[in-house]
Structure 1
């Protein structure tokens, strides 16, 4: 009689893989230096 893995363990493994994958993707995104960076400047009020 084979015992099927609990649904909880499957969800835990999927969640862990998601966390690892997200962390890896964010580290790749942060290390990318050739990505265009948008800098939005606020219009400065005219001062005398």
Structure 2
């Protein structure tokens, strides 16, 4: 049984593909949120306040 379980470690190629796709989708969503007008204004305001 222990030998059979050792063979199941790690991800298969299909799991890598799904994981990569999910990571890219999340990165795209995060980029979209961070470059939206409201968030960009807020971040710029925080940076300007910190520099003053």
Stretches of structure 1 lacking an aligned partner (at least 5 in a row):
35-48
- 1:26 matched to 2:32? The reply is yes
In the TM superposition, residue 6 of structure 1 has moved relative to its aligned partner by 1.1
Moved over 6 A (4+): none
Query: Number of residue pairs matched?
Result: 34
Stretches of structure 2 lacking an aligned partner (at least 5 in a row):
45-52
Structure with more helix by fraction: 2
Q: TM-score, normalised by structure 1?
A: 0.55
Q: TM-score, normalised by structure 2?
A: 0.52
Higher relative contact order (Cα pairs below 8 Å, separated by 6+ residues):
2
In the TM superposition, residue 22 of structure 1 has moved relative to its aligned partner by 0.5
